[in-house]
Amino acid sequence: MEIIKRPDPPSGLRRKLWRLPILLYRIGLGPLLGRRVMLLTHTGRVSGLRRQAVIEVVQHEGHVYVAASGFGPRADWYRNVMATPQVTIQVGGRTFRATAAPIETERGAEIMGTYAPRHPAAARRLCKIMGFAVDGSIEDYREVGRHIPFVSFIPMRSA
């Protein structure tokens, strides 16, 4: 694995394009995106306002969903959920409140190592977008997983 150039989070027109799936959720078509994509509603760390991002679910175990911050710890959604971990997520047609929790580096490496063989084309594309050159080996993907933060979203129990 080689770090080519870590990109900045998208801005301008690129940001608008990345945010198009949010519109699908807002008009009720979010379930068409499947279970590998979730709408994350969180609180802005500076403004305190409601913010939304659509992010990929890289792992789903039981009721816990895991996502990776492809743009690293500088991504707004990641910084926001680390500041205020109480969030709402929508995956497919399900919406529920959850708590965001960071995942340890080595566990992130394991997650990326199991994600890549399940979704090889997506893993290669994501690594390229994130600025990593990989040779396709599991160890290369694990190394990528050591360089990006992963977050688990744990459902809150109903009162």
| Long-range residue pairs from 79-83, CB within 8 A, at least 24 positions apart, any chain | 79/45, 80/42, 80/43, 80/44, 80/45, 80/51, 81/40, 81/42, 81/151, 83/43, 83/45
The tokens for 35 are 């279970």
Domain count across the chain: 1
- Contact indicator for 65, 57 with CB cutoff of 8 Å: yes
CATH assignment of the domain containing 34: 2.30.110.10
Arithmetic mean of pLDDT over the chain = 92
Rounded average pLDDT over 47-59: 96
pLDDT of residue 56: 93
Rounded average pLDDT over 44-70: 95
In tens, the pLDDT along 85-127 reads 999 999 988 999 999 999 999 999 999 999 999 999 999 988 9
pLDDT of residue 9: 74
Residues of the chain with pLDDT > 70, as a percent, come to 98
pLDDT of residue 158: 57
Q: What is the pLDDT confidence band of residue 159, given thresholds at 50, 70 and 90?
A: very low
Terminal-to-terminal C-alpha distance of the chain: 46
Domain span at residue 27 reads: 2-155
